[in-house]
Amino acid sequence: MNFTEETFEIRTHRRNEMIDITSHVADALSQSKVASGTVTVFCPHTTAAITINENADPDVPHDILLTLEQLVPQHRLGYRHNEGNSDAHVKSSLVGASETILIREGRLVLGTWQGIFFCEFDGPRSRKVHVQIMGT
Ligand code: ZN
């Protein structure tokens, strides 16, 4: 059983943004030499998230962000958290802090149109992403 862990930094540029990190994760996997197992991608922040979705058409991440912004407004009567970023905390929990991806023949098992995204909800900031690889 092989086990590797890597943390990389990512710089976000807008308050709400989805950044394709598939190549970062694929690079970590190729360095690990693991052929069969799982990769966990984890976001250690309370106002950001990790998701898997379409990375072929940039209108898809745009529309996901638009929908989240309409579902969870930045300013809302009743919010108590005094940092003013309650919407970002809610979006982080809705989308989730991590994704697990299978490894087969040394490659990420992703659908043709799937990519791994870091989701920023309170940028711009400097962020971290943890990648843990387990397998043989
Ligand atoms: Zn906050």
Cα 84 to averaged position of ligand 1 atoms, centre (Å): 7
Query: 51: pLDDT confidence band, cut at 50, 70 and 90?
Result: very high
Q: Looking at domain 2-135, what is its CATH homologous superfamily? A: YjbQ-like (2.60.120.460)
Contact between 2 and 33 under an 8 Å Cβ cutoff? The reply is: yes
Cα 20 to averaged position of ligand 1 atoms, centre (Å): 24
Report the 3 state secondary structure along 65-83. HHHHHHHCCCCCCCCCCCC
Query: 104: pLDDT confidence band, cut at 50, 70 and 90?
Result: very high
Over residues 2-23, the pLDDT tens digits come to 999 999 999 999 999 999 999 9
For the chain, the domains span 2-135
Distance CA 102, CA 83 (A): 37
Query: 91: pLDDT confidence band, cut at 50, 70 and 90?
Result: very high
Give the pLDDT of residue 74: 96
Residues in the 5 Å CB sphere of ion ligand 1: 83, 85
pTM over 0.75: yes
